[in-house]
Amino acid sequence: MAKAKSNTEDYLRMYRQMVRIRTFEDNANQLYLSAKMPGLTHMYSGEEAVAVGICEALTDDDRITSTHRGHGHCVAKGAEFKQMFCELLGKAEGYCRGKGGSMHIADQSHGNLGANAIVGGSMGIATGSALRAKLQGADDVTVCFFGDGATAQGLMYEVMNMAALWNLPVIYACENNGYSEYTKTEEIAAGSITARAEAFGIEAHRVDGQDVLAVNDLTRKLVARARKGEGPFFMELMTYRYHGHHVGDINREYYRSKAEEKEWKENRDPIIRFRAHLVSEGIATEDDLDAMNAEVEKDAAEAVAYALDAAYPDASEVDMHVFAA
């Protein structure tokens, strides 16, 4: 764990946000398994410290771009359960009026430019957002989330080159969960991932993605520097996804062992670790945290119930929003 901070409120909010993501995912998983949720979805459980550690260092004016595994980023950036569950179920009150679903939630009010189903597809968008900030003299920073698998996409190298040439306020956050779909990272990534950014002269850091304080500390420093025009930066966050690649990926022993999953879940869980830290530092009691968990669970259950009952969009919406006015 990174060094203790005195900001109790921040710590409790980070804890709560991690629990909110985990709870959201548990409910989404249930919705899917009980055949109430259409489509498919990719769980973020296990990676909470990454999204929360990073997004807690950002303001609503700072932008993020997200991935196919985007619920965690969306929650961490401030989204509400109700509109998220409505979106997952294709309901009119969803963030995107049911037109995006799990893989495309965008929440502009909190600076989330949207999840993206094209692996690596949002790297241009994030870098373009940073270019806009620089051109307009705005001091917001954009964080681009992507997986280790996405580092094999050529687009990343094109945009890192421009970001470095033009000192853009963008932070590339590579969530290295060890796999891209059903393939181990070592099988698809030659050399070191951080070295790829370093080749462009981009300062790159490797950080324990299961340690929310370490992620948050580093991000806060990098964001402050990016605001001053010292960007871009690159972070490789070592993390793990507990579920399969997507909700239907149940039998996965052919590509990763149960023992490995158990090891991460039991000994490296970001929520368990942070919880122990909060208790041992006297920031909260077990009872306080249990109460917080219960409150989040209640919120989620209510949001799910609301979303299940909510109306689908009217048929007249089908050809609405093809073009902007």
Partner 1 sequence: MREITLSQAVNEAIAEEMRRDASVFLMGEDVAEAGTPFKVLSGLVEEFGTERVIDTPISEPGFVGLAVGAAMTGARPIVDLMFGDFIYLVMDQLCNQAAKQHYMSGGKLTVPMVLRTNMGATRRSAAQHSQSLQALVAHIPGLKVAMPSSAYEAKGLMKTAIRDNNPVVIFEDKLMYQDKAPVPEEEYLIPFGVANVKRQGTDITLIGTSSMVQVAEKAAEILALEGISAEVIDPRTMVPLDEATLLESVKKTSRAIVIDEGHQSYGVTAEIASRLNEKAFYHLDAPVLRMGAMDVPVPFSPALEDLTVPTPEQVAANARKLCAGELIHAA
Interface ranges with partner 1 (CB under 8 A): 63, 65, 94-100, 104, 106, 108, 113-114, 116, 118, 121-133, 135-136, 142, 154-155, 158-159, 161-162, 165, 320-325
- Least distance to ligand TPP from the beta carbon of 118, Å? 5
CA dihedral angle for residue 9, residue 48, residue 205, residue 125, rounded to 10 degrees: -100
Q: Which two tokens stand for residue 255?
A: 């590509």
β-pairing, 233-238 vs 170-176, is parallel
Q: Which of the residues 89 through 108 are near ligand TPP (CB under 6 A)?
A: none
Among 147, 209, 232, 270, binds ligand TPP (CB under 6 A): 147
Minimum distance of partner 1 from residue 50's CB (angstroms) = 21
Give the contact letters, 156-185, x = binds to ligand TPP (CB under 6 A), - = no.
-------------------x-x-xxx----
272 and 45 Cβ atoms separated by less than 8 Å: no
Of the two residues 90 and 149, which places its CB atom closer to ligand TPP in the complex?
149
Q: Using the rule CB under 6 A, which residue among 107, 140, 148, 211 binds ligand TPP? A: 148
Smallest separation (angstroms) from partner 1 to the CB of 132: 4
Round to whole Å and give the CA distance between 325 and 316: 17
CA distances from 279 to 115, 126, 266, 275, 292 (A): 34, 37, 18, 6, 14
- The answer to whether 144 touches 127, Cβ cutoff 8 Å, is yes
Calpha distance 161→140 (Å, rounded):
20
Through-space distance between the first and last CA atoms of the chain, rounded to whole angstroms: 50
Residue 68 interacts with, from partner 1, ligand TPP, none (CB under 5-8 Å by kind):
ligand TPP
Contact residues toward ligand TPP (CB under 6 A) are 68-69, 117-119, 146-150, 175, 177, 179-181, 245
